[in-house]
């Protein structure tokens, strides 16, 4: 069990909650491994994967790379990737990097 992310299944959506404000190279391996294991256990058949970003204040290129790789891999299988409730700062990073054009971004 990771102290960085929590994964849950809600209907046809697999949700990934980030439990830390700073997502960087030091937690990227834990995030990647935990997501892979949890998705393998309970993600089968999910039509959407939502990354819940409301707790995140900082994100680096390592974790952005994880999100991009995951988005590409899931997309090949018809699974939609959603970035939900990014803070204004994280939304700015997504705009600056151009990732706001690649991901579905939802704000509650």
**Token pair belonging to 94:** 């997504």
Task: For 34-71, write each residue's pLDDT tens digit.
Answer: 999 999 999 989 999 999 999 999 999 999 999 999 99
What was the pLDDT predicted at 43?
A: 92
Task: For 30-43, write each residue's pLDDT tens digit.
Answer: 999 999 999 999 99
Which CATH number belongs to the domain containing residue 89 in this structure?
Answer: 3.30.750.24
pLDDT band, very low/low/confident/very high, at 108 (cuts 50, 70, 90): confident
Count Cβ atoms below 10 Å from residue 86 Cβ, excluding itself.
Answer: 22
Kind of pairing between the strands at 80-84 and 48-52? parallel
**Looking at the whole model, is its pTM more than 0.85?**
yes
Count of structural domains, the chain: 1
End-to-end CA distance of the chain: 28
- The whole-chain average pLDDT of the chain stands at 96
- The span from the CA of 31 to the CA of 18, in Å, is 9
Question: What is the extent of the structural domain holding 18?
Answer: 5-106
- Report, as an integer, the average pLDDT of 18-31: 96
- The span from the CA of 95 to the CA of 67, in Å, is 15
């Amino acid at each position: 069990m990771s102290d960085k992310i929590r994964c849950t299944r809600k209907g046809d959506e697999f949700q990934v909650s980030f439990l830390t404000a700073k997502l960087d190279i030091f937690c990227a391996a834990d995030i990647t491994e935990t997501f892979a294991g949890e998705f393998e256990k309970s993600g089968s058949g999910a039509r959407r994967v939502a990354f819940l970003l409301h707790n995140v204040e900082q994100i680096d290129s390592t974790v952005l790379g994880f999100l991009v790789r995951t988005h590409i891999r899931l997309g090949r299988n018809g699974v939609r990737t959603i970035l939900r409730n990014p803070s204004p700062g994280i939304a700015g990073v997504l705009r600056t990097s151009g990732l706001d054009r690649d991901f579905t971004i939802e704000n509650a």
